[in-house]
Amino acid sequence: MKIKNSKIIKLITVLTIVATMSSSTVFAAWWGTPGYEWAREKRLTTLANNSALNNKVSHANFYSILIKYLQYKNVRPGGNVMQNVGASNSFNKAIDGLVQTVDEYISVESLSSQEYKVVATYIEHVDDILESNAALLSRDDLKSVYLYLSLAKYKAATLISEPAYKNLVLSNASPTAMFNVGSTKYKELIDYNIKPYYGDISRKEFLVLMFSLLSEQELSEEEIITQFNEAGVLIGYQDGGLWIENPLTYAEMFTFLRRFEIFDFNPEPETEENTEDSNEEIKEYN
């Protein structure tokens, strides 16, 4: 029987904070090591140690961890997904415009074979522009935008309306190299109806995305954040603020995923009977 979110998560958090405050670094263990060790145990990450926990999550690692987590939770592809891609970005503004155009191309229901060729050709032109102006971007941003373009091309291929040509492109059987996408890395992301990100991924974007993937509830972004906050999922910031628009770090991603283990994404309507049951389970937990 599940324990109510707000009670069990806050109970565990309070106990952890009390233990952590007796050490030299307040909250560091709660936000970092336990979540990281849990993720390593579940084989969700290949980070060799916890030295990078306060760094922003790279796009490649974000996709890798996310795909492994969804597989670990047996989440089936094809559900509704809430995303606000590109809300917080860090690319050079000229590159932002090019990438946003690609995003518009793949934000449609379907593409004809000719429309797909237009999109793929445009993506190839963006590749050429990046190669010629690589000095405009940091090494990390270059990796991120190239990965975005690769996933965007695969996403476009999945939208092709003609089955024969779609299979040709996805199977790498096309005679034209630019249209071969079957070996795209992290393509499982697209199978889950998740669009590739560009720019920084914020804490809010991650929380909203995960809720939409794991819950059957239909809530607004504000309602999702409120539910997480009231349940104690967001407890731990030293200044009391949520700062949910800030870029997501490894420490936060691992901690959120670990806390999701005891968060009921599809709670039953609260009644007097199950409230009493929850109280009894909290006593047993103690």
Residue 25 domain-assigned (yes or no)? yes
Q: Look at residue 88 and tell me if it is in a domain.
A: no
142-165 confidence digits (pLDDT tens): 888 888 889 999 999 999 999 998
Within this chain, do residues 239 and 150 fall inside the same structural domain, yes or no? no
Q: What is the pTM of this model?
A: 0.76
Asked, for residue 198, whether it belongs to a domain, the answer is no
Most confident of 67-76, 77-86, 123-132, 223-232: 67-76
Query: Is residue 211 a part of any domain in this protein?
Result: no
* Confidence category of residue 199, pLDDT binned at 50, 70, 90: confident
Residue 125's alpha-carbon distances to 18, 122, 146, 168, 251, in angstroms, are 56, 5, 12, 22, 37
**197 located within any domain:** no
Segments forming the whole domain that contains residue 150: 93-191
> Distance of CA 173 to CAs 119, 153, 183, 184, Å?
19, 15, 11, 14
Q: Report, as an integer, the average pLDDT of 62-90.
A: 79
Query: What is the count of structural domains for the chain?
Result: 2
- Residue 280 covered by a domain: yes
Q: Is the residue at 86 inside a domain?
A: no
64-73: pLDDT as tens digits:
999 999 999 9
Arithmetic mean of pLDDT, 239-250? 76
Compute the average pLDDT of residues 73-80.
Answer: 80
**Is 207 a domain residue?**
no
pLDDT at 23: 32
- Report the alpha-carbon distance of residue 256 to residue 106 in Å, rounded: 29
Q: Which of 191, 213, 231 is the last residue of a domain?
A: 191
Please say if the pLDDT value at position 8 is more than 60.
Answer: no
